[in-house]
């Protein structure tokens, strides 16, 4: 049974320093795990959450699976996560959401291509 009150399952690149810092920052904002549960993309939880066919069709990107079963990837997953966490990130996500998806996806693709370079911004920044 699908339950929209369940936390989003966030699947991320655990080999990416930037991604690890991002998930740690979100964990601090949601310490009880009521909004998010994090898992590496390369793991049993990812394999059990989505069928092999679904996994094969996904881009190399952040993946979120909502309590209602909806799968989001890339920029769409980031915006959903930011809106759920609230605060300044949620506020900015509302405005980013009015941008054309091609612009958002291009920005996400650029960050994803460079995610292993230099470690990215600090968690506190």
For 66, residues 6+ apart whose C-beta sits below 8 A from its C-beta are: 4, 8, 72, 80
What pLDDT is recorded for position 34?
92
* pLDDT given at position 120: 47
Q: What residue ranges do the domains of the chain occupy?
A: 8-113
Dist. CA 26–CA 89, nearest whole Å: 11
What string of pLDDT tens digits covers the 125 residues of the chain? 457 688 999 999 988 888 898 899 999 999 999 999 999 998 899 999 999 999 999 888 899 999 888 999 999 999 999 999 899 989 999 989 899 999 998 988 888 887 777 554 443 33
57 CB-side CA count, 13 A:
7
- Nearest alpha carbon to residue 20 among 104, 124, 119: 119
What integer pLDDT is reported at residue 2 of this predicted model? 56
Res 4: pLDDT:
66
pLDDT of 119: 53
CATH code, residues 8-113: 3.40.30
């Amino acid at each position: 049974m699908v339950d929209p009150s369940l936390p989003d399952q966030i699947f991320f690149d655990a080999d990416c320093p930037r991604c690890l810092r991002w998930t740690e920052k979100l964990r601090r904002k949601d310490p009880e795990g009521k909004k998010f549960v994090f898992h590496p993309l390369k793991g049993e939880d990812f394999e059990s959450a989505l069928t092999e066919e679904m996994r094969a069709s996904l881009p190399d990107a952040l993946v979120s699976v909502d309590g209602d079963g909806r799968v989001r990837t890339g920029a769409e997953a980031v915006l959903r996560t930011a809106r759920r966490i609230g605060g300044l990130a949620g506020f900015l996500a509302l405005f980013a959401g009015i941008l054309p998806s091609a612009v958002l996806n291009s920005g996400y693709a650029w960050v994803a291509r460079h995610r292993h370079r230099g470690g990215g911004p600090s968690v506190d920044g």
